[in-house]
């Protein structure tokens, strides 16, 4: 079992890097979108200046074609080298084709102040030990979430349990709240938060969507280096109008601080009425 | 006075386009970020297939260096030509330097269904005629918002008026609600929504920020072609931790439908305590 740091290892210089996309960080055999963003951010940081700008402040990606597990190339180009922040473009290529393209702002989070204002408190959560551990092959989901071998995800039943107490996820809330830890106990850092920001099951499952919900575009802002301990993640849908849905993700660390925020646009299919 | 359509005109072919950045769509003499995104989206649509994909579904940009009013080049590269949607990269260049780089997903919004679910109703707004028209040079703001010659923006006093009824914006709400129309009466379309998504004053003014709040990254999702009539815009700050703040923007049309959603990360300065 590879650690997350091993799984996002890249090798290279002068803007060209190779990675081996890990078979464990996958959903139904395809590399996970948040994992891919972390691999690309890793290459972007090495191409820039790892000491001056060790953290991704913003990451925006379009998912062009799903890559396969195995070797991939990441091409990094500088848009601007700055003192406080750099702007970098990264492209993940397999078989001469662009699979993911992303724009990054790189900087140093530890220069950032404690927030002077936040719009709301962390969500009320059912205690971690009372939340069921997510299964790799949830009954009827039609997907196999291999990455659940390497992370422990616990979904808050208060967010997904149908009002009649029945089985399934169709609570009608448009929201999943979850706890997330690495199975090997590694604490999260700024890079692995890019993975965490895409780790939740689609919130549309609570609204009756079927099958996978492939991401078209995802933007993540990393706001702080997290304190050790499980993350609390709120994933919620805002406007569900087939064929697309947008979802917002917010992540809090064990000190109740917002550490990451994400938004994504994805294709969605609805159950026949 | 150029219409918005004239101000975002581009000319060219085969992925290389020229534009003339308009002196009216500016803030303190610099082209406005949402206007620039619309110019780039225009070039992206022409480089793709205007009939099959007339609308930007997603737009993500990093603002590298502010461009100047006047001639600019937009270089467009295809990442994927698809039937339902294409992915395109666009780069706005002046004096051989990248000023803005953006990733677009292009498609056709009219193929999209009415939403089957939304997370909330449009905000309660003070009626348009009771909201003051924004001034080009607000007292003490230190900026000159020239674009307010070509749009009519009315800020809802309920969102910005301090609790003690005093002057200024420092309501502590972290939110501006506004009405927006073109001064020449043109209805909004999918491209001009990219401008509207960045049209609000920074919501941090209600929290005591000073000076301009330059955008680092902005992502916009266009969800529907708007019905004619003034837009209602809610801009709110989520986490304000100098030197950066994130702001979320939601836009409703006259039929109460969400037509655009945006998120941006920006640099901010706070008043000395």
Nearest residue of B to residue A259, measured between CA atoms: B239
Interface test with A, best of B116, B240, B264 (most A CBs within 10 A): B116
DSSP assigned state of B256: S
Nearest residue of A to residue B63, measured between CA atoms: A87
Nearest residue of B to residue A78, measured between CA atoms: B98
A261 chain-B contacts, CB cut-off 8 A: 238-239, 246, 263
Q: Nearest by CB to B117, which of A80, A207, A261?
A: A207
A236 chain-B contacts, CB cut-off 8 A: 119
Closest CA of chain A from B69, distance in Å: 20
pLDDT digits (tens, 9 = 90+) for B72-96: 999 999 999 999 999 999 999 999 9
B114 chain-A contacts, CB cut-off 8 A: 241
Answer whether A79 sits within 8 Å of B58, measured CB to CB.
Answer: no
DSSP assigned state of A143: -
Answer whether B57 sits within 8 Å of A265, measured CB to CB.
Answer: yes
A55 chain-B contacts, CB cut-off 8 A: none
| pLDDT in the model for residue B272 | 61
| pLDDT in the model for residue A165 | 81
| pLDDT in the model for residue B34 | 98
| pLDDT in the model for residue A20 | 98
What SS3 class is residue B1? Answer: coil
Q: Nearest by CB to B242, which of A89, A113, A216?
A: A113
| pLDDT in the model for residue A36 | 98
Nearest residue of B to residue A79, measured between CA atoms: B98
A172 prior amide bond cis, ω within 30: no
Answer whether B265 sits within 8 Å of A119, measured CB to CB.
Answer: no
> CA–CA distance from B28 to each of A163, B5, B120, B145, B146 (Å)?
54, 22, 36, 6, 7
Residues of chain A with pLDDT under 70: 140, 272-273
Nearest residue of B to residue A111, measured between CA atoms: B243
CB atoms within 10 A of CB A142: 10
pLDDT digits (tens, 9 = 90+) for B168-192: 888 999 999 999 999 999 999 999 9
Max CA-CA distance within chain A?
58
The question of ipTM being above 0.95 is answered as: yes
- The β-bridge partners of A21 are A70
Instruction: Extract the tokens encoding B163.
Output: 């609790």
Choose among B151, B201, B155, B203: nearest CA to B22.
Answer: B151
| pLDDT in the model for residue A132 | 95
| pLDDT in the model for residue B271 | 75
pLDDT one digit per residue (tens) for chain B, 273 residues: 789 999 999 999 999 999 999 999 999 999 999 999 999 999 999 999 999 999 999 999 999 999 999 999 999 999 999 999 999 999 999 999 999 999 999 999 987 888 999 999 999 999 999 999 999 987 767 789 999 999 999 999 999 998 888 888 889 999 999 999 999 999 999 999 999 999 999 999 999 888 789 999 999 999 999 999 999 999 999 999 988 999 999 999 999 999 999 999 999 988 764
* Pairing mode, strands A231-241 and A175-182: antiparallel
Interface test with A, best of B108, B219, B249 (most A CBs within 10 A): B219
Closest CA of chain B from A22, distance in Å: 24
- Compute the distance between CA of residue B60 and CA of residue B169 in angstroms, rounded to an integer: 29
| pLDDT in the model for residue A272 | 61
């Amino acid at each position: 079992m590879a650690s997350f740091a091993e799984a996002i290892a890249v090798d290279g210089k002068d803007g060209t890097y190779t990675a081996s996309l890990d078979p464990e960080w996958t959903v139904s055999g395809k590399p996970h979108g948040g994992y891919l963003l972390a691999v690309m951010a890793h290459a972007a940081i090495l191409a820039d200046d790892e000491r001056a700008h060790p953290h991704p402040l913003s990451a925006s990606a379009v998912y062009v074609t799903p890559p396969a597990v195995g070797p991939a190339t990441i091409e990094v180009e500088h848009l601007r080298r700055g003192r406080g922040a750099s702007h970098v473009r990264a492209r993940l290529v397999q078989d001469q084709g662009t699979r993911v393209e992303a724009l990054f702002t790189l900087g140093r989070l530890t220069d950032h102040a404690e927030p002077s204002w936040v719009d709301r408190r962390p969500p009320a959560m059912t205690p971690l030990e009372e939340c069921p551990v997510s299964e790799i092959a949830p009954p009827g989901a039609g997907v196999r979430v291999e990455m659940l071998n390497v992370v422990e995800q616990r979904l808050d039943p208060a967010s997904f349990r149908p009002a009649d107490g029945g089985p399934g996820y169709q609570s009608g809330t448009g929201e999943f709240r979850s706890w997330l830890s690495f199975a090997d106990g590694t604490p999260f850092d700024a890079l692995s938060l890019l993975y965490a920001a895409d780790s939740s099951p689609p919130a549309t499952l609570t609204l009756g969507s079927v099958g996978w919900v492939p991401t078209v575009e995802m933007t993540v802002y990393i706001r702080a280096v997290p304190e050790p301990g499980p993350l609390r993640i709120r994933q919620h849908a805002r406007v569900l109008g087939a064929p697309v849905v947008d979802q917002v993700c917010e992540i809090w660390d064990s000190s109740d601080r917002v550490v990451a925020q994400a938004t994504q646009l994805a294709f969605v299919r609805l159950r026949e009425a």
